[in-house]
C-alpha cells in the first residue's frame, strides 16, 4: 500500500481532459448530459447514426461479450493454473526448492517483459498479438507437460520462460479487445463483469490442475488441458476480431 498508493496518485489520470480524451457520461455536467440525451434521442427518432445507449444486459448477453468471456476465462485458467502448480511440478521433477524459486522468478520476469511488449497490438493488431502469445503458451505447455526427471533442465526453464512471455502478451491484449468492442458509456460495468469471470475461471484453473494431478499422478494431462484452453481462447479472439467493433 505504501508503494502503490503514491504511484497511483502520480501516474493515474481519471478525468478525460487529463488524458486528451473525450468526456464520458460520469464527467459531464448536468447541462451537458441533458444536451447529449437530447442529441441521442433525436438520432434515434430519425434513424441517423449508430445505435447509442445499448442496455447493459443486452451487451452482456451478446455474442461479442460471450467471446470476450471465453478469452478472459482462457487467460485466467492458464494464468492461475500455471502460477499455482509450476513450482510443485518442478520439485516433483527433481529441482531443488531454490531452483524452483528461480524458475518461478524467470516466469515472472518473462511475464513482465510480455506485458511491456504487448503494446505492439496497437500496430500489429490485437488478434495477431494474441495469436503470438497463444503459440508461445502452447509450446510452453508441451515442454512442461513432457518434462520428466533426467531431461535437460534447460527445457523446463525454457517452458517457464515461454509460458510467462505468452501470458504477458495475451492478458493485456484481452483487456484491449474488451476496450475496443465495448468502450463508451457503461464500460465500467462490463469490465467488472469480465474481471469477475476472470476470477472465477482462475479459481477453476487451479482446482482443475490439482484434480488432474491427483487422478494421474503427474502434471502431463493438466498442462495438455492448459494448451487446449489456450487454443480455445485464440479461436474466440479470431472470431471476435472479425466482428464490427463499436457496440455502445
Same domain, 179 and 160: yes
Same domain, 134 and 92: yes
Write out the H or E segment, with its range, that includes residue 218: none
Same domain, 107 and 18: no
Give a yes or no: residue 248 inside a domain.
no
Report the chain's mean pLDDT, rounded to a whole number: 87
Region of residue 123 (left: phi > 0; alpha: psi -120 to 50; beta: else): alpha
For 153, half-sphere exposure in the C-beta direction (CA atoms, 13 angstrom radius) is 10
Same domain, 71 and 15: no
Residue 101 pLDDT > 60: yes
pLDDT at 42: 60
Q: How far, in Å, CA of 202 to CA of 180, rounded?
A: 23
Same domain, 61 and 9: no
What CATH number did the domain enclosing 214 receive? 1.20.1250.20
Same domain, 118 and 236: yes
Give a yes or no: residue 18 inside a domain.
yes
Write phi, then psi, for 50 (nearest 5 degrees): -75, 155
Domain count within the chain: 2
112 to 21, 108, 144: CA distances (angstroms): 27, 6, 20
Q: Which residues contact 137 (CB under 8 A, 6 or more apart)?
A: 78, 162, 163, 166, 167, 170, 226, 227, 230
Same domain, 15 and 69: no
Same domain, 21 and 132: no
**CA of residue 18 relative to chain centroid, distance:** 26
pLDDT band for position 224 (50/70/90)?
very high
pLDDT at 186: 81
pLDDT at 23: 57
Same domain, 166 and 134: yes
How many helices (H) and strands (E) are present in the chain, helices listed first?
Answer: 10, 0
pLDDT at 163: 97
Same domain, 39 and 108: no
Give the domain extent around 237.
Answer: 56-241
Same domain, 66 and 28: no
Same domain, 106 and 23: no
Q: Against a cut of 0.85, is the pTM above it?
A: no
pLDDT (tens digit per residue) in 186-204: 888 899 999 999 999 999 9
pLDDT band for position 205 (50/70/90)?
very high
pLDDT (tens digit per residue) in 6-62: 998 888 876 666 655 555 555 566 776 677 667 656 655 444 433 445 777 888 888
pLDDT at 196: 96
Amino acid at each position: 500500500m505504501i508503494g502503490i498508493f503514491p504511484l497511483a496518485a502520480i501516474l493515474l489520470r481519471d478525468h478525460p481532459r487529463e488524458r486528451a480524451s473525450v468526456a464520458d457520461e460520469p464527467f459531464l455536467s448536468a447541462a451537458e448530459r441533458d444536451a447529449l440525451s437530447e442529441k441521442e434521442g433525436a438520432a434515434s427518432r430519425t434513424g441517423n447514426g449508430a445505435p447509442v445507449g445499448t442496455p447493459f444486459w443486452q451487451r452482456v448477453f451478446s455474442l461479442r461479450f460471450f467471446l470476450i468471456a471465453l478469452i478472459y476465462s482462457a487467460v485466467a485458467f492458464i494464468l492461475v493454473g500455471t502460477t499455482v502448480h509450476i513450482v510443485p511440478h518442478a520439485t516433483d521433477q527433481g529441482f531443488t526448492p531454490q531452483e524452483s524459486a528461480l524458475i518461478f522468478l524467470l516466469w515472472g520476469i518473462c511475464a513482465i517483459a510480455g506485458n511491456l511488449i504487448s503494446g505492439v497490438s496497437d500496430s500489429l493488431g490485437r488478434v495477431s498479438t494474441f495469436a503470438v502469445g497463444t503459440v508461445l503458451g502452447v509450446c510452453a505447455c508441451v515442454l512442461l507437460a513432457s518434462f520428466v526427471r533426467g531431461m535437460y533442465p534447460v527445457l523446463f526453464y525454457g517452458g517457464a520462460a515461454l509460458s510467462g512471455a505468452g501470458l504477458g502478451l495475451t492478458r493485456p491484449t484481452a483487456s484491449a479487445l474488451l476496450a475496443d468492442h465495448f468502450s463508451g458509456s457503461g464500460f465500467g460495468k462490463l469490465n467488472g463483469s469480465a474481471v469477475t469471470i476472470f476470477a472465477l475461471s482462475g479459481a477453476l484453473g487451479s482446482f482443475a490442475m490439482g484434480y488432474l494431478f491427483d487422478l494421474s499422478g503427474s502434471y502431463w494431462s493438466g498442462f495438455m488441458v492448459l494448451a487446449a484452453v489456450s487454443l480455445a481462447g485464440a479461436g474466440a479472439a479470431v472470431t471476435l476480431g472479425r466482428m464490427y467493433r463499436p457496440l455502445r
